Each structure stands twice: as structure tokens, then as C-alpha cells.
Chain A
Amino acid sequence: MIKKDSSNILTIQDLHASINGTEILKGIDFTVRSGEIHAIMGLNGSGKSTLAKVLAGHSAYEVTQGSVLFDDIDLLALPPEERARAGLFLAFQYPIEIPGVANTQFLRLAYNTVQTRRGKEELDPLEFDDFVREKMKMLDMKPDFLDRSVNEGFSGGEKKRNEVLQMALLEPKLSILDETDSGLDIDALKIVAQGVNQIANQNNAMIVVTHYQRLLDYIVPDYVHVMQSGRIVMTGGKELALELETHGYDWISANKQSLAGVSA
């Protein structure tokens, strides 16, 4: 929800990033205030996941220019774990499988690490079990999820739910959901969206990366940005997603000139 007096959670200025010497992000400007939900749309290969991973601190990407403030700290100076502990969360487009690590062990470790940092009590395995089962109900997840290895042999949809579960546990200040909707059938999509909506409040913010307008029927964005070749080429309200749905991305190229420079 847009409110005039909200504070900035994320301030990105002129962000350029490369991988193996190839520039992928070519100057991103973008501000997220608390309480807001932003959608980022764009064709495959436009740089959406790159932006998400640069924000989360993936070491394969080199930031060559620009700045990112998280609240008022220099995000780019922090290693990934410090970003997570500070309240940044990335739901991966392709969640990683970790054979041999039980999901419950992983979730508790992540939860306790972040809790400790916030000066709160850690939960022992029994307490955590109650806590996590409660959250799992919200996402309609089967209890056997906990005993399996992290994401190993999970279906695409199960992996995505596991990401949203982690988000629900860690209560991040800023969540970036990278195509959490792809691979989900409509029922699963609704459940995931419901989970996201329960987490969203006035003190946090979300960036929802998606290909499809259908997710935005359930998670209503305050802003929609369109990415193309490593830049945000268009920004609008939630109706922009509908326009894209009707006209396709070619329409952007035609209208880009007149709309260039608009930013949230």
C-alpha cells in the first residue's frame, strides 16, 4: 500500500552489474518504501533474476557502478548472510536441492541464526517443530516435508512453497520473490499468494518478479515495472500488467520513448 510518509526500505541508484565481464544490469533506479508491493515483469533474459541475485549478494556478479541502500545501510558492502540477517529475503526462481540436510534442520538453523541476530530467543527442536507446523498449515504443506532433504526430489510447486515457508519463518523486511508463481497450478498459486498476503504489512515490502499477470490477480501490486535488457523501461500501476497481458511486450518497445524515465 502506498503511503506518502513511509520510509525507504530499498534505494537503488544507477546500478550496473556484470557477470564474467558481460554487463547484464545497465543502470537500474528504483525505490521501495515500507508497505509497498512492487511487481517486476519482463521477458526471459531481461535481467530480473540478475537483479534479485545482485541484491541478495551472489558473488558471481560484479557491481561495476551505482549504489543500493537497505534502510540506510550500504547493502553492497555486506556479505549475503549479513543481508539476510538484516532482513532481506530472496525466494529463488530455482531453489537449490541440498541432499543430506533435513529440511527441518535447515529451517531451524536459518530461523535461529536470524533470530539470534535480532536479539531474540532461539527455539529448540520441539518448540520449533510446533512453530513451523503452524506456518505449514497456512501453506497447505504436508508434514513429511520436514523430514525430507532440503528440496531434494520436491516437485516444482513444493520447492516454491518451501521458499514461501522460509519467508514466513524469517519475517523479512524486504522479500524478493523470483517467479515464485511459475510451475504452480492455480490452486497452489492461490495458496502461495495467500501466504504472501498474510506476511505483507505496513512495516515490510515485497518485490514480486513474474512473467504472468495471473499472479497479480492475487497479489495486488502498488507498482509494476517492466525490465528490458537490464533496465527498467516502464513503470506504472497495477493496470500496466493488464496492458502487457493484452498488448504483449512489443507494445513496450513502441511506447518506451514516451514513457522512458518514469520511475517509482
Chain B
Amino acid sequence: MTTSLQSDYLQYLLSSWDIKPTESLSWLDRLRAEAIDQAGTQQLPTKKDEEWRFTDISPLARLPFQAATPKFDLQAKDIEHLKLKEADNRLVFVDGHFAPHLSIISGSLSHIVGNLPALTSRDTLLQSHLGKHVSIDHNVFAALNTAFLRDAAVIVFPKEFVLEQPVHLLFIATQSEVTSYPRSLIIGEPGSQATVIEDYVSLQPSAAYITNSVTEISLAEHARIQHVRVQRESNQAFHLANCAASLGHASHFQSTTVTLGAQISRYNMHIHIANEAAECDISGLSMISGRQLADTHTCIDHAKPHGISQQQHKCIVDDAAHAVFNGKIIVRPHAQRTNSSQSSRNLLLSKSAQVDTKPQLEIFADDVKCAHGATVGQLDAEEIFYLQSRGLSETEARNLLTFAFGAEIINRIPVPSLKQQLEQAVLKQTQSH
């Protein structure tokens, strides 16, 4: 792939965008304008970039999918199966565009949950967070997302506010050969507690399209946010996602990511322990088959002392699929008394399945505890025999063990109906043999 083709590609994407502002927020226009400039100076990453060593996204350059135009043919009944009964509040975005007729926001929350243009009353707060957590330097996809930023899911949990029910952010792909730019901003003000589900789905199982999403999450002191991210795009889709969370003093962030879909997916998660005694508990499961590629890059940046980070990532890889996990942990010089653990466990179900897993520790403080470990293996023959000795066939035993491997992550999701949906999805995949 030549450089000129790459920049042509980016030029082409950017030229498609109607830059005329639709809202009167001038800071937003500036944010977009900067992002357009940034994107214009960048190139599509290649495998020569250290950060993209295992993931060849050159096919993308041949697919100059334009930004999706709004199409709201979907009816409530079409998304019935995607609804989560626990979620009283749901924001639905169709091909990246807010779909008010599919969304529900309880009246009492309408000033804190909604589409970006509807929350202009929180202008100052939004301005101080939007685009402030995910960096667009050296990140062409985040820059493009910001360049195309118009609709966005915005949630502001006010001080000491506790929301028992989860908020469901549902991003539905309906069109082929388009790019959508989902955007989310979640702000937990001091002492707030809530659960947010980001859910990327397709209604056409083999449509080719691109999702380029950015999520920014900010936790003020003592905030507790449970974040669930599900990627179940079409098996021909490209999914490129950036998520960044900033953790305030003694805040607690739990995030569970389940990756099932897309031909090629890349998820960058950046967690900034920005203040003392913050804690994060991060888990991920990628379950892929066929010729899928799922790349997860995480970075937990301990910038302040007494932080705790726990991370476990699992991949179940079948057929000729390829999973990548790169887990970087930075402990800055002042971040004494950091306690960090990371585990990467990978299950290969076929001879041609591949996994690249790499812990990357950059520790500059001396009084820290950091444990990490990675395993790559097949199903354990002794476990299979144990189950067979209790009457299960070899296939049943393998399916149960594969399911169990994934269920350990899925069980962490605090929303029973979603947990059940994902268990079914995993079960379906394990039983396809």
C-alpha cells in the first residue's frame, strides 16, 4: 500500500463530510476543525507501526465507505430482541445517528441522559470533557471520529446520584458500505454510581461496513461506574474503537468487554489513574472463528499513588481466526504503592488458530506490586476425561469447557438479561462444531 493511496483515502473520507455546523456550539466546531486538521496530517497505520504489528488494516484503504446518512426505517419491533429488560433508559443510534423514536429516556433523566445537541444546558461541563480523554494525536481513527462528530450519547450522573438500572447505549448498523461514527461521553460526578452498556450490533449478519467509535468516560472522586461493552457486529464489518477512562480520587471503574463480531476489530482502551487510590477492574473476552481478527490493546496508566488495577483478558480462537492482546501497564515515578495484576489466558480450538499476547510493563516507581501472566493452550485433556468419566461425550465435554472458559468473563456482567443473551451467543458458537 502506498502512502498516496492512504492519504487519498483519508482525503476522500473527509471530503464527504458536510462541515457546516448544525448546532450553535462554537467550541464543538473548533473541536471538529482541529480533528479535521489532525486527520489530514495522519495516515492509516500499517504493520510497520509497533502498535499495529499484528493487525493489517490495509483492506480498509480499498473500502472508502462514506459517512452514513441517516435512515430511520427501523421500527421498534425490529429491535425488540436487542432490548434489555433491566434498562429503563435506552439511547439508540442507527448507523451513528440518534434515533429518538427507538430511544426511551425517563422524564426525570432527560436533562442528564440524551443526544449531545439536547444537552446544551450542560455546555461548560461537556466542553471540559468531550475530546479531552481520547487523544487524537497519532490516532487517525479517533481523529476521524471527532471530525465527524455530530450526534453522541451523553450521560452525566450528578453528584451522589445512584442509578440502579443500567443505561443501554445501542448502536445499530443497518446500511452496507458506509462508515458510522458512534460517540459516547459518560461523566460520573462525585460519589455517583451507575452502570452503562455500550452495545454494537448489526441487523444484517454479513453486511460490510465500518464502525469507528470513540467513548470517553470520566469518574470524579468516589464515583463508581460499571461499564459493559459488547461488540457483536456483522461478520464482514470493520470495527475500530477507542475508549478512554479517567479515574478520579478513590473512584472505582469496572469494565467488561465482550468481542464476538466483525471481520477485523481493533479496540484501544486507555485508563488513566489520574488521582490517588483509584481502582479499576478490567476484563475482556474475545471469541472468534472463521477468519476473524480481534485485536485488543489496553493501557492502564498509573499516574498517581495507591492505585489498584486488576485485569483479565481471555481469547477463544477457532478455525483460522487470530486474536491479539497487548496489555500495557505504566506505573509513573510518583505512583508508589500501586497494586496491579494482569492475566491473559487464551484458548486455541484449532491448529490454525492464532493468538499474539503481550504484557508490556513500564514501571518507574519502586514500591509497587505488579503481577502478570499469560497462557496459551488447548482444552485440557484431563478436564475432558473427567467430564467423559461422568457420562458426557467428548464433544459435550469440549463445548462445556469452552463455554466455561468464556463464562468466567460473561459472569461479571451485572445485567442478567444481557448475560443470558451472551451466554446463548457463546453456547451457539461452541456448539457449531
Q: Which of A60, A98, A170 interacts with B383 by CB under 8 Å?
A: A98
Q: Is the CB of B388 within 8 A of A98?
A: no
Quick check: is A114 within 8 A (CB to CB) of the other chain?
A: yes
What mask results when residues 34 to 73 of chain A are scored 1 for a CB within 8 Å of chain B, else 0? 0000000000000000000000111110000000000000
Which B residues from 356 to 392 make CB contacts under 8 A with A? 380-383, 385-392
The complex places the Cα of A166 from the Cα of B387 at a distance, in Å, of 12
Quick check: is A157 within 8 A (CB to CB) of the other chain?
A: no
Q: Is the CB of B385 within 8 A of A59?
A: yes
Q: Which of B388, B406, B411 interacts with A81 by CB under 8 Å?
A: B388
A96 to chain B, nearest CB (A): 4
Quick check: is A148 within 8 A (CB to CB) of the other chain?
A: no
Q: Is the CB of A96 within 8 A of B390?
A: no
Quick check: is A117 within 8 A (CB to CB) of the other chain?
A: yes
Quick check: is A95 within 8 A (CB to CB) of the other chain?
A: yes
> How many residues on chain B are close to A (CB under 8 Å)?
24
Q: Is the CB of B383 within 8 A of A96?
A: yes
Q: Is the CB of A117 within 8 A of B386?
A: no
Which stretch (A14-22, A84-92, A209-217, A247-255) binds chain B?
Answer: A84-92
The complex places the Cα of A98 from the Cα of B379 at a distance, in Å, of 11
Please, which residues of chain B bring their CB within 8 A of the CB of A106? 387, 390, 400
Q: Is the CB of B386 within 8 A of A92?
A: yes
Quick check: is B401 within 8 A (CB to CB) of the other chain?
A: yes
Task: Determine the residue in chain A with the shortest Cβ distance to B402.
Answer: A100
Quick check: is A80 within 8 A (CB to CB) of the other chain?
A: yes
Q: Is the CB of B394 within 8 A of A109?
A: no
Q: Is the CB of B392 within 8 A of A101?
A: no
Please, which residues of chain A bring their CB within 8 A of the CB of B381? 59-60
Q: Is the CB of A114 within 8 A of B400?
A: no
Please, which residues of chain A bring their CB within 8 A of the CB of B401? 98, 101
Quick check: is A76 within 8 A (CB to CB) of the other chain?
A: no
Q: Is the CB of A100 within 8 A of B407?
A: yes
Q: Is the CB of B390 within 8 A of A100?
A: no
What mask results when residues 218 to 247 of chain B are scored 1 for a CB within 8 Å of chain A, else 0? 000000000000000000000000000000
Quick check: is A110 within 8 A (CB to CB) of the other chain?
A: yes
Please, which residues of chain A bring their CB within 8 A of the CB of B405? 100
Q: Is the CB of A96 within 8 A of B407?
A: no
Quick check: is A99 within 8 A (CB to CB) of the other chain?
A: yes
Quick check: is A183 within 8 A (CB to CB) of the other chain?
A: no
A189 to chain B, nearest CB (A): 23
Q: Is the CB of B404 within 8 A of A98?
A: yes
The complex places the Cα of A59 from the Cα of B389 at a distance, in Å, of 11
Please, which residues of chain B bring their CB within 8 A of the CB of A114? 390-391
Quick check: is B393 within 8 A (CB to CB) of the other chain?
A: yes
Q: Is the CB of B404 within 8 A of A84?
A: no
The complex places the Cα of A60 from the Cα of B388 at a distance, in Å, of 14
Quick check: is B160 within 8 A (CB to CB) of the other chain?
A: no
Quick check: is B408 within 8 A (CB to CB) of the other chain?
A: yes
- If the complex has contacts A98-B401, A100-B407, A100-B408, are A58 and B385 also in contact, measured as CB distance less than 8 A? yes
Q: Is the CB of B386 within 8 A of A79?
A: no
Please, which residues of chain B bring their CB within 8 A of the CB of A57? 385, 388-389
The complex places the Cα of A81 from the Cα of B396 at a distance, in Å, of 10
Quick check: is A113 within 8 A (CB to CB) of the other chain?
A: yes
A147 to chain B, nearest CB (A): 12
The complex places the Cα of A79 from the Cα of B397 at a distance, in Å, of 13
Q: Is the CB of B390 within 8 A of A110?
A: yes
Task: Determine the residue in chain B with the shortest Cβ distance to A86.
Answer: B391
The complex places the Cα of A100 from the Cα of B411 at a distance, in Å, of 9
Q: Is the CB of A84 within 8 A of B390?
A: yes
Query: Which of B387, B394, B400: most chain A CB closer than 10 A?
Result: B387
Given contacts A58-B385, A84-B391, 7 further A-B contacts (CB under 8 A): A59-B381, A98-B383, A99-B408, A100-B411, A101-B400, A106-B387, A110-B392
Shortest 10 CB-CB contacts between residues of A and residues of B: A100-B404, A110-B390, A80-B388, A113-B391, A96-B386, A84-B391, A100-B408, A101-B404, A81-B388, A114-B391
18 A-B residue pairings within 8 Å (CB atoms): A57-B385, A57-B389, A58-B385, A59-B381, A79-B388, A79-B393, A79-B394, A81-B393, A84-B389, A85-B391, A92-B389, A96-B382, A98-B401, A99-B404, A100-B406, A101-B401, A109-B392, A113-B396
